[in-house]
A and B are shown apart, each in its own frame.
Chain A
Amino acid sequence: MLPTITVDDEKCGNPLQCRLCLLACPTRVLGLGASAAPRKYQETDPARFIVRGVRYPFCTACRKCVDVCPHGAIEVSFDQVVTA
């Protein structure tokens, strides 16, 4: 069962500057990218930087990223709880 990680880009702001969630994730599930391809002679607008769940199989649903986000932009849902 894989988790669902949603990031609200409007609330998130500039993740390259903030990067708290990237540093908090123990298994590097989150990845930083841009919502626009690199353009010739142009730097990417910081508002275009986004964080997404990338390596889902390694997510333990510890929710450290949720706790650390100052804007409450990340949600992690893990529908099925496996019990022993």
Chain B
Amino acid sequence: MRHDAEQVSWRIHFGQVVTKEEVDRIIDLIYPIGLMTCACRRSMRGLPDEENFTCMGMGPGMYKWERWPETYRGGMNFLTPDEARHVIDVLNRRGLVHCMYTFGTPYLAGICNCDYPDCGGLRTAVDMGVRVVWKGHYVAEVDADKCNGCGLCVRRCQFKALSFSPSTLKAYIDPFKCYGCGLCRNPCKPDAIEMIDRATLPALAGVW
């Protein structure tokens, strides 16, 4: 059943985690960019539309939003690339993971900004092992010499990959669980977390 669910998802609608740097570059490639409400948080929390503008749709399909008022509940805010980068920055500081999603693979249609457990995709991937969201191209690694053990990064991890190790008094990242979103880097004062290319680690190269 897990296999079947993954196959359906990969054919129609699945995502991959991307870092903020990647999103900043993607924003230059896509047009138009529309900020819209998040269907997951509406389903999970019943969030009112005005509190729920966290998803970015892309491409000319966005112009059709008025035809589907329920799908695009709350309307559509079209953004310039700089406005979009600002929105991504705000959402990133809020602690949301950026994911590229397909709608009708191979067509890319959205940059979702997700968190656990309110994103249906992350929930399914983390809790049920159904890979509707793939891990990103990077893995976070702690430099134990630089880490000062403040623990601020731990709360940023949405994937249960980051914990605080009482015996070393440092942050500990499980590379097999890390999705490579890079959120843990932001509060790190000593800049102790580095993003490593997944392909350079043979055991992780195929772990998506």
Q: Are A41 and B118 in contact (CB under 8 A)?
A: no
Q: Are B70 and A22 in contact (CB under 8 A)?
A: no
Q: Taking A28-B118, A58-B127 as contacts, is the C-beta distance between A38 and B70 under 8 angstroms?
A: yes
> In the complex, what residues of A have CB within 8 A of residue B123's CB?
28, 55
Does A44 count as interface, using CB distance less than 8 angstroms?
yes
Q: Are A42 and B70 in contact (CB under 8 A)?
A: yes
Q: Are B42 and A32 in contact (CB under 8 A)?
A: yes
Chain A interface mostly: mixed
Q: Are B70 and A39 in contact (CB under 8 A)?
A: yes
Measured in the bound complex, the distance between the Cα atoms of B68 and A28 in whole Å is 27
Measured in the bound complex, the distance between the Cα atoms of B45 and A51 in whole Å is 11
Q: Are B43 and A32 in contact (CB under 8 A)?
A: yes
Q: Taking CB as reference atom, which chain B residue is nearest A22?
A: B46
Looking at the complex, which one of B43, B45, B70 makes contact with A43 (CB distance below 8 Å)? B70
Does B105 count as interface, using CB distance less than 8 angstroms?
no
Q: Are A27 and B117 in contact (CB under 8 A)?
A: yes
Q: Are B44 and A31 in contact (CB under 8 A)?
A: yes
Does B69 count as interface, using CB distance less than 8 angstroms?
yes
| Those of A25-58 within 8 Å (CB) of chain B | 27-28, 31-34, 38-44, 55, 58
Q: Are B43 and A41 in contact (CB under 8 A)?
A: no
A19 to chain B, nearest CB (A): 3
Looking at the complex, which one of A23, A34, A41, A58 makes contact with B69 (CB distance below 8 Å)? A41
Does B67 count as interface, using CB distance less than 8 angstroms?
yes
Q: Are B70 and A28 in contact (CB under 8 A)?
A: no
Q: Taking CB as reference atom, which chain B residue is nearest A49?
A: B46
Q: Are A38 and B117 in contact (CB under 8 A)?
A: no
Q: Are B67 and A40 in contact (CB under 8 A)?
A: yes
Q: Mark B111-127, 1 if CB is under 8 A from A, else 0.
A: 00000011000010001
- Given contacts A22-B46, A28-B123, A40-B67, list 9 more A-B pairs with CB under 8 A: A22-B44, A22-B45, A28-B44, A28-B118, A32-B44, A33-B43, A42-B70, A43-B73, A55-B127
Q: Which residues of B contact A (CB under 8 A)?
A: 42-46, 67-71, 73, 117-118, 123, 127
